[in-house]
Amino acid sequence: MNKITELTKEQWELVYARREEWRRIGTSTEPADRPATETVLKKFYARLGKKEPKFVWFDGPFSACVLTPLLLGGQLGGQLGGQLGGQLGGQLWDQLRGQLWDQLWGQLGDQPKDIFNSFMAYPESCYWIAYYEVCREVVGAKYISEQSKLLNEWVELSKWCGWFSPFENVCICADRHRTIRFDPQYRLHCEKGPAIECRDGFKVFSWHGTRIPAKWIEAKDTVDPKLALTWENVEQRRCLAEILGWDKVLSTLQHRVIDRDRDPQIGILIEVDLPDAPAERFLRVLCGTGRQFTLPVPKECKTALEANAMTYDVPQQLLREIEVRT
């Protein structure tokens, strides 16, 4: 069999269109269709030679994870998730791998994974279902009839259900999220509330894809600005500085500019008087992505270049010669 080496412009347009369709499926906040979900899952159990399970529904995955061991711990039986996924995924992988040229394989793989990998929102199985479905419907890949039929069932399940976890005797299912919010780059983000809100009340707060404490959004006026300089996680520290605004962070703390480099990617060396602590020095730097970071540096640093070089652990002259830093 000759491998598929490239797609036409029209095919790529269809790939992008299907990607958006799958994005809508994966981020749907419509309530789960419980009867339709159970119908498909019963077929999965029958394929494994298992009897129909007891279906137990929760309003969200968090309550399902917390309450299942308490309410159903002795009734579950063995976990079947690996069997259900392996029943299809491994076989389609082998069939598809022999039909696509390596470079095209990678190019296509980036499309559906881009939809779901950073979402933290729905079952990770969505992206591989999308991948195999798009390869069949748009690229022209051929699957064994039985596997193609099983893929159809997975596609249907993706449209009706949120999260589920199958066991020998019981199948745990959770409703879809009530709300999911993103920034223009499809990173979980909301400036005024939770980025994810489940029907069971569980919430996830996120700032441009980085998970943050709820208080930073819901009660940001009570957050101590010094945390934007002292919080342990650097990414979260940057988020808090953006949420509060650098003007507020620095206006509430005594600070001095020790050195300002002509290159914003080398940055500004500042010294800040922290409450109930000795003065500390920080490097405020613009990274290659356009984001500003503030990093603690040793007190002996005299220039921004010296502080930046110590951060990268490279000679100062070499750092000056680097054109792009990330």
Distances from the Cα of 305 to the Cα of 89, 133, 289, angstroms: 51, 51, 19
3-state secondary structure at position 23? helix
Q: How far apart are CA 226 and CA 272, in angstroms?
A: 9
Of 237, 236, 281, 233, the C-alpha closest to 257 is 281
Task: Encode pLDDT of 259-305 as tens digits.
Answer: 999 988 888 999 988 766 778 888 988 877 777 778 888 889 999 99
- The pLDDT of residue 216: 97
Q: How far apart are CA 211 and CA 301, in angstroms?
A: 32
Task: Encode pLDDT of 167-194 as tens digits.
Answer: 888 888 999 999 999 998 889 999 999 9
Task: Encode pLDDT of 135-166 as tens digits.
Answer: 888 877 788 888 888 888 888 888 888 888 88
Give helix 102-116 / helix 9-26 axis angle, nearest 10°.
30
Task: Encode pLDDT of 231-243 as tens digits.
Answer: 889 889 889 988 9
- The pLDDT of residue 108: 47
Q: What is the mean pLDDT of residues 187-212?
A: 94
Return the DSSP state at 220.
G
Q: How far apart are CA 285 and CA 248, in angstroms?
A: 18
Contact 176, 30 (CB under 8 A): yes
